[in-house]
Amino acid sequence: MTSSAEVSTDWASQDLSTLDFASMGTPTVGDYDYPGLYCDRSSVRAFRNQYEPPLYWTITVVGGLGNLMVVWTFLHFRQRLKTMTDVYLLNLAVADLLFLGTLPLWATEAAQGWTFGPGLCKVNSALYKINLFSSTMLLTCISADRYVVIVETTRAQNSKGQRLCYSKLVCGVVWLLALLLALPELIFSTAKENEDTLFCRMVYPGGNGNTTKILVLALQVSMGFCLPFLIMVFCYSMIVYTLLKTRNFGKHKAMRVILVVVAVFVLSQLPYNCSLVLEATLANNVTMANCEQIKRLDIAGQVLKSLAYAHACINPFLYAFVGVRFQKDMVRVLQAYRCWPATRPLSNFSNTAPLSRASMISDNTQTLSL
């Protein structure tokens, strides 16, 4: 007869290796069947069923419209792709659109389970991670390009054409690296049944499942948040320092926008990544886990994950729509397709004076297009 201690150890080592509280759009793991250790997680599934579908569809619609407008404007005015950040912005919008395309499947799964087969489970999970990593790396590239334009002005002006060629190569490297970082999703994602309902989730190998899970989570936190955040802080700190030394009335607006960019990134990504660190801690120390703790972490992970997803809606407004030049081009696109009154003046979109070195994304330093 198996002792209760042996049952407890087996329960922890077996189930915690497959837990994935907050990553991807994956649901909670199933209830546990050991006598006295049964964990009824129906409340978590009910919360997810009510909370995720409407929120995910809202993020998809709002973010889809914003990012489609960015792509539409860039493709309509192909000559706009004349700086590194213009190229990064276009790739960022594409990455956000591909990511948003995965949310309807996660919303459907939250409402009625995974009905799309194990193959699409792997593809959808990998697409999510590819675009998570590519978006974060592209935001890092934008901050690095602004650093060169503002802090290394002479060098930036002397290497315009060369830097534009490099930007396309950098984007290719970003997409390739994001694909490599998404390999765990292609390997471990599968459709698994729980109470006659299939869910798409990460299932790690039984023997060293906790170690594999910790490595995957560490990879996501380090490459998806920590390293990009450190680079962004360095670049924007140097930009602010440079702007403080200039005599330009526009520098204060530039610094306010920089503060907003960094604050939004931190507020949307830091809480979710903290939940991933906590998840890795539980996987590393299974004796800390209990049913109520797991359920609370599950619900918190769902909420914080949604907050991180909302960043795909905000990106077009932070990095494109606030730019004067982009606003004017966007209106011209709408006028060309008769979506905007042709007689309406464009002067409202050119009230911002040139910001010289305070320009954030363009080598001609004429706008504060973030």
pLDDT single digits (tens) 348-357: 444 444 444 4
Q: Give the separation between CA 213 and CA 203, rounded to whole angstroms.
A: 9
pLDDT at 337: 66
Is the pLDDT higher at 173 or at 28?
173
| Number of C-beta neighbours around residue 366 at 10 A | 16
Residue 199, classed as helix, strand or coil, is strand
* Whole-number Å distance between alpha carbons of 153 and 155: 5
Coil, helix or strand for 197? strand
Provide the residue type at 243 as one letter. Answer: L
Dihedral sign (CA 125, 127, 128, 133): positive
Q: How far apart are CA 184 and CA 189, in angstroms?
A: 8
Q: How many CB atoms lie within 10 A of CB 304?
A: 21
Report yes or no: 131 and 181 within 8 Å, Cβ to Cβ: no
Phi-psi region of 293 (alpha: psi -120 to 50; beta: other; left: phi over 0): alpha
Give me the pLDDT at residue 272, please.
87
Name the most confidently modeled range: 74-83, 117-126, 327-336. 117-126
Beta bridge partners of 354: none
Residue 49 pLDDT greater than 70, yes or no: yes
List 201's β-bridge partners, or say none. 190
Q: Which domains does the chain have, with CATH numbers?
A: 8-358 (1.20.1070.10)
* Distance between CA atoms of residues 74 and 69, nearest Å: 9
| 103-142 pLDDT, tens digit each | 999 999 988 889 998 999 999 999 888 988 998 899 899 8
At residue 165, what are phi and psi to the nearest 5 degrees? -65, -40
Residue 110 and residue 203 in contact, taking contact as beta carbons nearer than 8 Å: no
The DSSP result for 13-61, as a single string, is HHHHTT--SSSTT--PPPPP-STT-----HHHHHHHHHHHHHHHHHHHH
How far apart, in whole angstroms, are the C-alpha atoms of residue 364 and residue 348?
Answer: 21
Q: State both tokens at 217.
A: 């989570």
pLDDT band at 332 (very low <50, low <70, confident <90, very high): confident
Average pLDDT, whole number, for the chain? 75
DSSP characters over 60-125 = HHHHHHHHHHHHHHHHHSGGG--SHHHHHHHHHHHHHHHHHTTHHHHHHHHHH---SHHHHHHHHH
Torsion, Cα of 209, 215, 218, 222 (10° steps): -160
The pLDDT, as a whole number, for residue 21 is 39
Is pLDDT above 80 for 255? Answer: no
Are 154 and 368 a contacting pair, CB within 8 Å? no
pLDDT digits (tens, 9 = 90+) for 165-209: 888 899 999 999 999 999 999 999 999 887 778 889 888 877 666
Residues 74-95 have a mean pLDDT of 80
The kind and range of the H/E element at 191 are strand 189-194
- Between CA 313 and CA 311 the distance in angstroms is 5
Name the more confident of 254 and 363: 254
